[in-house]
Chain A
Amino acid sequence: MSNMIKKETDGNLPQVERTESATTFTPRFDIVECGDEMTLYGDLPGVEPENLEVRFENEHLIVHGRVEPRHEGRQHVYGEYGVGDFYREFRINEAVDASKIEAELRDGVLTLHLPKAEALKPKRIRVKSD
Protein backbone atom coordinates (compact mmCIF):
# COMPACT_ATOMS: atom_id res chain seq x y z
CA MET A 1 0.00 0.00 0.00
CA SER A 2 2.98 2.33 0.33
CA ASN A 3 2.76 3.59 -3.24
CA MET A 4 -1.00 3.87 -3.30
CA ILE A 5 -3.12 6.67 -2.02
CA LYS A 6 -6.77 6.60 -1.33
CA LYS A 7 -8.88 9.24 -2.95
CA GLU A 8 -12.29 10.00 -1.51
CA THR A 9 -15.01 10.66 -4.02
CA ASP A 10 -18.25 12.27 -2.91
CA GLY A 11 -20.72 9.62 -1.83
CA ASN A 12 -18.98 6.83 -3.72
CA LEU A 13 -16.58 4.22 -2.47
CA PRO A 14 -13.00 5.38 -2.08
CA GLN A 15 -10.99 4.92 -5.25
CA VAL A 16 -7.45 3.69 -5.23
CA GLU A 17 -5.22 5.82 -7.39
CA ARG A 18 -1.69 4.95 -8.40
CA THR A 19 0.84 7.66 -7.62
CA GLU A 20 3.61 8.67 -9.98
CA SER A 21 6.24 6.01 -10.52
CA ALA A 22 9.34 6.29 -8.37
CA THR A 23 11.99 6.58 -11.08
CA THR A 24 12.26 9.66 -13.24
CA PHE A 25 14.81 10.07 -16.00
CA THR A 26 16.27 13.05 -17.80
CA PRO A 27 15.38 12.87 -21.48
CA ARG A 28 17.99 13.84 -24.06
CA PHE A 29 17.36 17.07 -25.94
CA ASP A 30 18.73 18.91 -28.94
CA ILE A 31 18.26 22.65 -29.05
CA VAL A 32 18.56 24.49 -32.32
CA GLU A 33 18.17 28.15 -33.12
CA CYS A 34 17.13 29.11 -36.58
CA GLY A 35 15.95 32.55 -37.69
CA ASP A 36 12.87 33.56 -35.72
CA GLU A 37 12.58 30.52 -33.52
CA MET A 38 14.22 28.12 -31.16
CA THR A 39 13.42 24.48 -31.74
CA LEU A 40 13.80 21.76 -29.15
CA TYR A 41 13.81 18.06 -30.01
CA GLY A 42 13.46 15.63 -27.13
CA ASP A 43 13.56 11.85 -27.04
CA LEU A 44 10.58 10.64 -25.02
CA PRO A 45 10.17 7.00 -26.04
CA GLY A 46 7.05 5.33 -24.71
CA VAL A 47 5.22 8.54 -23.81
CA GLU A 48 1.71 8.74 -25.22
CA PRO A 49 0.44 12.20 -26.18
CA GLU A 50 -2.19 12.25 -23.39
CA ASN A 51 0.52 11.54 -20.79
CA LEU A 52 2.71 14.47 -21.78
CA GLU A 53 2.64 17.82 -20.05
CA VAL A 54 4.53 20.83 -21.37
CA ARG A 55 4.44 24.10 -19.43
CA PHE A 56 6.12 27.45 -19.83
CA GLU A 57 6.22 29.75 -16.85
CA ASN A 58 8.65 32.35 -15.48
CA GLU A 59 11.15 31.70 -18.29
CA HIS A 60 11.10 28.00 -17.43
CA LEU A 61 10.04 25.37 -19.86
CA ILE A 62 8.94 22.18 -18.14
CA VAL A 63 8.50 18.86 -19.90
CA HIS A 64 7.01 15.95 -18.00
CA GLY A 65 6.10 12.68 -19.69
CA ARG A 66 4.48 9.78 -17.89
CA VAL A 67 5.38 6.27 -19.05
CA GLU A 68 2.91 3.44 -18.56
CA PRO A 69 4.25 -0.02 -17.68
CA ARG A 70 4.54 -2.05 -20.88
CA HIS A 71 5.13 -5.63 -19.73
CA GLU A 72 2.79 -6.28 -16.85
CA GLY A 73 2.46 -9.97 -16.02
CA ARG A 74 5.67 -10.86 -17.84
CA GLN A 75 8.96 -11.97 -16.38
CA HIS A 76 11.97 -9.66 -16.80
CA VAL A 77 14.84 -11.70 -18.25
CA TYR A 78 17.52 -9.16 -19.08
CA GLY A 79 17.77 -5.39 -18.87
CA GLU A 80 20.05 -2.66 -20.08
CA TYR A 81 17.92 0.35 -19.28
CA GLY A 82 15.41 1.49 -16.74
CA VAL A 83 11.88 2.51 -17.58
CA GLY A 84 10.36 5.47 -15.81
CA ASP A 85 8.90 8.91 -16.34
CA PHE A 86 10.74 11.70 -18.11
CA TYR A 87 11.26 15.14 -16.61
CA ARG A 88 13.26 18.09 -17.81
CA GLU A 89 13.31 21.77 -17.06
CA PHE A 90 14.99 24.42 -19.19
CA ARG A 91 15.58 28.05 -18.43
CA ILE A 92 14.95 29.97 -21.60
CA ASN A 93 16.95 33.17 -21.62
CA GLU A 94 15.60 34.46 -24.88
CA ALA A 95 12.32 36.34 -24.79
CA VAL A 96 9.88 33.87 -26.19
CA ASP A 97 6.33 34.51 -27.35
CA ALA A 98 4.69 32.05 -24.96
CA SER A 99 1.29 32.24 -26.63
CA LYS A 100 2.75 30.92 -29.87
CA ILE A 101 4.67 27.91 -28.52
CA GLU A 102 3.78 24.81 -30.49
CA ALA A 103 4.43 21.22 -29.50
CA GLU A 104 4.11 17.98 -31.40
CA LEU A 105 4.88 14.42 -30.34
CA ARG A 106 5.62 11.95 -33.11
CA ASP A 107 7.23 8.51 -32.85
CA GLY A 108 8.43 9.28 -29.34
CA VAL A 109 10.11 12.56 -30.30
CA LEU A 110 8.80 15.83 -28.90
CA THR A 111 9.32 18.88 -31.11
CA LEU A 112 8.82 22.26 -29.49
CA HIS A 113 8.74 25.44 -31.53
CA LEU A 114 9.46 28.55 -29.48
CA PRO A 115 9.00 31.68 -31.58
CA LYS A 116 11.05 34.64 -30.44
CA ALA A 117 9.18 37.67 -29.20
CA GLU A 118 8.93 40.52 -31.73
CA ALA A 119 11.45 42.73 -29.95
CA LEU A 120 14.22 40.14 -30.32
CA LYS A 121 13.89 39.41 -33.99
CA PRO A 122 16.83 40.75 -35.91
CA LYS A 123 15.84 43.89 -37.74
CA ARG A 124 17.44 45.33 -40.74
CA ILE A 125 18.32 48.90 -40.08
CA ARG A 126 18.05 51.28 -42.93
CA VAL A 127 21.10 53.34 -43.48
CA LYS A 128 20.32 56.79 -44.70
CA SER A 129 22.70 58.82 -46.70
CA ASP A 130 22.30 62.28 -47.99
Chain B
Amino acid sequence: MLATRWQPFSDVWSEMSRLGEEMNRMFDRYGFRDRLSGGAPSYPALDMWQDDDNLYIEAELPGMKLEDLEIYVSGDNQLGLKGCRTAAEDEKASWHRRERTYGEFARAISLPCPVDSDKVHATLKHGVLTITLPKIEETKPRRIEVKIE
Protein backbone atom coordinates (compact mmCIF):
# COMPACT_ATOMS: atom_id res chain seq x y z
CA MET B 1 0.00 0.00 0.00
CA LEU B 2 1.22 3.46 -0.83
CA ALA B 3 1.40 5.54 2.29
CA THR B 4 0.24 9.12 2.08
CA ARG B 5 2.90 11.41 3.42
CA TRP B 6 2.51 14.99 4.39
CA GLN B 7 4.89 17.10 2.36
CA PRO B 8 5.59 20.80 2.48
CA PHE B 9 3.98 22.57 -0.45
CA SER B 10 7.27 23.59 -2.08
CA ASP B 11 8.38 19.96 -2.41
CA VAL B 12 5.13 18.95 -4.01
CA TRP B 13 5.40 21.84 -6.42
CA SER B 14 8.95 20.99 -7.51
CA GLU B 15 7.95 17.35 -7.95
CA MET B 16 4.99 18.43 -10.09
CA SER B 17 7.03 20.68 -12.33
CA ARG B 18 9.71 18.04 -12.70
CA LEU B 19 7.08 15.52 -13.73
CA GLY B 20 5.77 18.05 -16.24
CA GLU B 21 9.21 18.47 -17.74
CA GLU B 22 9.65 14.73 -17.96
CA MET B 23 6.31 14.37 -19.70
CA ASN B 24 7.25 17.05 -22.19
CA ARG B 25 10.51 15.36 -22.98
CA MET B 26 8.75 12.02 -23.32
CA PHE B 27 6.34 13.48 -25.85
CA ASP B 28 9.05 15.38 -27.69
CA ARG B 29 10.54 12.11 -28.78
CA TYR B 30 7.43 11.29 -30.75
CA GLY B 31 6.21 14.85 -31.16
CA PHE B 32 7.25 15.38 -34.74
CA ARG B 33 5.20 12.34 -35.71
CA ASP B 34 1.98 13.92 -34.45
CA ARG B 35 2.67 17.02 -36.45
CA LEU B 36 3.12 14.95 -39.59
CA SER B 37 0.05 12.77 -39.28
CA GLY B 38 -2.18 15.16 -37.36
CA GLY B 39 -3.68 12.23 -35.47
CA ALA B 40 -3.12 10.13 -32.39
CA PRO B 41 0.23 8.34 -32.38
CA SER B 42 0.16 4.70 -33.39
CA TYR B 43 2.02 2.04 -31.49
CA PRO B 44 4.69 0.98 -32.05
CA ALA B 45 6.47 3.89 -33.67
CA LEU B 46 8.24 2.84 -36.86
CA ASP B 47 11.40 3.95 -38.59
CA MET B 48 12.33 3.05 -42.15
CA TRP B 49 15.74 2.86 -43.79
CA GLN B 50 16.99 1.60 -47.13
CA ASP B 51 20.06 0.72 -49.11
CA ASP B 52 20.36 -0.55 -52.69
CA ASP B 53 19.17 -4.08 -51.84
CA ASN B 54 16.78 -3.85 -48.89
CA LEU B 55 14.24 -1.84 -46.98
CA TYR B 56 14.65 -1.96 -43.20
CA ILE B 57 11.76 -1.29 -40.85
CA GLU B 58 12.54 -0.82 -37.22
CA ALA B 59 10.31 -0.70 -34.14
CA GLU B 60 11.15 -0.49 -30.47
CA LEU B 61 9.42 -3.35 -28.66
CA PRO B 62 11.18 -3.76 -25.32
CA GLY B 63 10.31 -6.90 -23.38
CA MET B 64 8.77 -8.70 -26.35
CA LYS B 65 9.75 -11.95 -28.02
CA LEU B 66 9.57 -12.72 -31.75
CA GLU B 67 6.97 -15.42 -31.09
CA ASP B 68 4.65 -12.77 -29.59
CA LEU B 69 4.64 -10.93 -32.90
CA GLU B 70 2.86 -11.47 -36.17
CA ILE B 71 4.53 -9.92 -39.21
CA TYR B 72 3.00 -10.22 -42.64
CA VAL B 73 3.46 -8.76 -46.10
CA SER B 74 0.37 -8.50 -48.26
CA GLY B 75 0.40 -7.60 -51.92
CA ASP B 76 3.97 -6.66 -52.51
CA ASN B 77 4.07 -3.38 -50.65
CA GLN B 78 1.97 -3.63 -47.48
CA LEU B 79 3.53 -4.58 -44.19
CA GLY B 80 1.48 -5.55 -41.17
CA LEU B 81 2.66 -5.90 -37.59
CA LYS B 82 0.55 -7.29 -34.75
CA GLY B 83 1.28 -8.25 -31.20
CA CYS B 84 0.44 -7.99 -27.55
CA ARG B 85 2.54 -6.71 -24.70
CA THR B 86 1.45 -8.07 -21.38
CA ALA B 87 2.17 -6.57 -17.99
CA ALA B 88 3.39 -8.69 -15.12
CA GLU B 89 0.54 -8.28 -12.66
CA ASP B 90 0.99 -8.85 -8.97
CA GLU B 91 -1.99 -8.19 -6.78
CA LYS B 92 0.12 -7.71 -3.68
CA ALA B 93 2.20 -5.00 -5.31
CA SER B 94 1.37 -1.32 -5.19
CA TRP B 95 2.15 0.92 -8.13
CA HIS B 96 4.12 4.10 -7.67
CA ARG B 97 4.49 4.96 -11.33
CA ARG B 98 3.13 3.48 -14.51
CA GLU B 99 4.48 4.97 -17.72
CA ARG B 100 5.08 1.94 -19.91
CA THR B 101 2.37 0.93 -22.34
CA TYR B 102 0.70 -2.46 -22.55
CA GLY B 103 -1.93 -4.21 -24.57
CA GLU B 104 -2.64 -5.33 -28.09
CA PHE B 105 -1.43 -3.40 -31.07
CA ALA B 106 -1.72 -3.66 -34.84
CA ARG B 107 -0.18 -1.50 -37.51
CA ALA B 108 -0.04 -1.51 -41.28
CA ILE B 109 2.29 0.52 -43.40
CA SER B 110 2.69 1.00 -47.16
CA LEU B 111 6.17 0.40 -48.43
CA PRO B 112 7.74 2.84 -50.87
CA CYS B 113 8.62 0.05 -53.33
CA PRO B 114 7.65 -3.60 -54.00
CA VAL B 115 9.49 -6.23 -51.96
CA ASP B 116 10.08 -9.96 -52.27
CA SER B 117 7.66 -11.21 -49.60
CA ASP B 118 9.21 -14.71 -49.53
CA LYS B 119 12.57 -13.41 -48.36
CA VAL B 120 11.44 -11.05 -45.61
CA HIS B 121 13.08 -11.75 -42.27
CA ALA B 122 12.97 -10.20 -38.81
CA THR B 123 15.29 -10.01 -35.83
CA LEU B 124 14.57 -8.81 -32.31
CA LYS B 125 17.62 -7.75 -30.36
CA HIS B 126 17.70 -5.81 -27.08
CA GLY B 127 14.07 -4.85 -27.61
CA VAL B 128 14.56 -3.51 -31.14
CA LEU B 129 12.72 -5.22 -33.97
CA THR B 130 14.34 -4.99 -37.40
CA ILE B 131 12.46 -6.31 -40.43
CA THR B 132 14.60 -6.72 -43.54
CA LEU B 133 12.61 -6.62 -46.77
CA PRO B 134 14.59 -7.38 -49.94
CA LYS B 135 13.64 -5.19 -52.89
CA ILE B 136 12.61 -6.98 -56.04
CA GLU B 137 15.19 -6.87 -58.84
CA GLU B 138 13.26 -4.37 -60.98
CA THR B 139 13.25 -1.69 -58.31
CA LYS B 140 16.90 -1.91 -57.35
CA PRO B 141 18.88 1.07 -58.51
CA ARG B 142 21.03 0.22 -61.47
CA ARG B 143 24.33 1.74 -62.31
CA ILE B 144 24.36 2.93 -65.89
CA GLU B 145 27.61 2.67 -67.70
CA VAL B 146 28.50 5.81 -69.52
CA LYS B 147 30.46 5.08 -72.62
CA ILE B 148 33.00 7.49 -73.88
CA GLU B 149 33.48 7.40 -77.61
**Is the A/B pair a real complex?**
yes
Q: Which residues of chain A have a CB within 8 Å of any CB of chain B?
A: 25-26, 28-35, 38-39, 41, 43-48, 70-71, 73-83, 105-109
Q: Does B26 sit at the interface, judged by CB under 8 A?
A: yes
Q: Determine which of B30, B56, B58, B99 lies in contact with A30 in the assembled complex, contact meaning CB atoms within 8 Å.
A: B99
Q: Does B119 sit at the interface, judged by CB under 8 A?
A: no
Give bound CA distance, A87 to B25, whole Å.
11
- In the complex, which residue of chain A has the Cβ closest to the Cβ of B124? A107
> Is there contact, CB below 8 Å, between A108 and B62?
yes
A73 to chain B, nearest CB (A): 7
Q: Does B112 sit at the interface, judged by CB under 8 A?
A: yes
Give bound CA distance, A28 to B47, whole Å.
19
Give bound CA distance, A81 to B99, whole Å.
17
| Residues of chain A with a CB closer than 8 A to B29's CB | 25-26, 81-82
Q: Does B20 sit at the interface, judged by CB under 8 A?
A: no
Give bound CA distance, A123 to B78, whole Å.
59
> Is there contact, CB below 8 Å, between B49 and A76?
yes
> Is there contact, CB below 8 Å, between B56 and A74?
yes
> Is there contact, CB below 8 Å, between B99 and A108?
no
Q: Does B74 sit at the interface, judged by CB under 8 A?
A: no
> Is there contact, CB below 8 Å, between B47 and A32?
no
How many interface contacts (CB-CB < 8 Å) are there between A and B? 123
> Is there contact, CB below 8 Å, between B97 and A80?
no
**11 pairs from A and B in contact (CB 8 Å cutoff):** A29-B97, A29-B99, A34-B92, A43-B63, A45-B62, A71-B56, A76-B49, A77-B112, A78-B48, A80-B33, A107-B65
| Residues of chain B with a CB closer than 8 A to A26's CB | 22, 25-26, 29
- In the complex, which residue of chain A has the Cβ closest to the Cβ of B54? A74
Within 8 A of A (CB), among B26-41: 26, 29-30, 32-33, 41
Give bound CA distance, A62 to B61, whole Å.
23
A112 to chain B, nearest CB (A): 13
Q: Determine which of B48, B94, B97 lies in contact with A77 in the assembled complex, contact meaning CB atoms within 8 Å.
A: B48
Q: Does B147 sit at the interface, judged by CB under 8 A?
A: no
Give bound CA distance, A30 to B100, whole Å.
6
- In the complex, which residue of chain B has the Cβ closest to the Cβ of A90? B97
> Is there contact, CB below 8 Å, between A32 and B90?
yes
| Residues of chain B with a CB closer than 8 A to A81's CB | 29-30, 33, 45, 47, 60
| Residues of chain A with a CB closer than 8 A to B92's CB | 34-35
> Is there contact, CB below 8 Å, between A77 and B50?
yes
| Residues of chain A with a CB closer than 8 A to B56's CB | 71, 74
Q: Determine which of A28, A31, A80 lies in contact with B46 in the assembled complex, contact meaning CB atoms within 8 Å.
A: A80
